[in-house]
Structure 1
Amino acid sequence: MAVFDDEPGAPPARKAEHVMGEDLSRLSVDELQARVALLKEEIARIEAAATAKAAQRDAADLFFKR
């Protein structure tokens, strides 16, 4: 097991996380832009999941209405 992050075989560092309502005043412009990119990726992931769920629901509705 790696003790330091720079050791070979160490797990990759996790992406920065965003906490809703967090004080943003201490973050740099680059950090804020990284957060925006992270949140946009998450929004796209959630929208894709919602679209897939809606398609599953629609298929089930068609199947059970016959």
Structure 2
Amino acid sequence: MNDEPLNEKPDMTLGFLKKQDLYGMSVGDLEERIEALKTEVLRCEAALNDRGNTRSEAEKLFKF
């Protein structure tokens, strides 16, 4: 069972990430960070796509 509270405000740590000093990070750390961010972008795009599909299906259902 998922113990996360419903309707909790999303953790937008991008503000923190944007402030981090990248100069002190190794090449490997930077590559790992880039891959993690790319994966997160794909996950967000998939969520947007799913929501768009749900909306268009609902509009078709209720369209007169």
Structure 1 residue 23: Cα displacement: 1.1
Residue identity (%): 34
Structure 1 residue 50: Cα displacement: 0.4
Secondary structure of residue in 1 paired with 2:22: coil
Regions of 4+ moved over 4 Å: none
Question: Is 1:30 aligned with 2:28?
Answer: yes
Q: Mark the structure with the bigger radius of gyration.
A: 1
Provide the TM-score with structure 1 as the length reference.
Answer: 0.68
Cα RMSD (Å): 1.6
Provide the TM-score with structure 2 as the length reference.
Answer: 0.70
For 1:49, which of 47, 50, 53 is the aligned residue?
Answer: 47
Give the total of aligned pairs. Answer: 50
For residue 8 of structure 2, what is the aligned residue in structure 1? Answer: none
Note the residue ranges of structure 2 that are not aligned, 5 or more in a row: 1-12
Q: Which amino acid aligns with 1:60?
A: A
**Greater RCO (Cα-Cα under 8 Å, separation 6 or more):** 1
Note the residue ranges of structure 1 that are not aligned, 5 or more in a row: 1-16
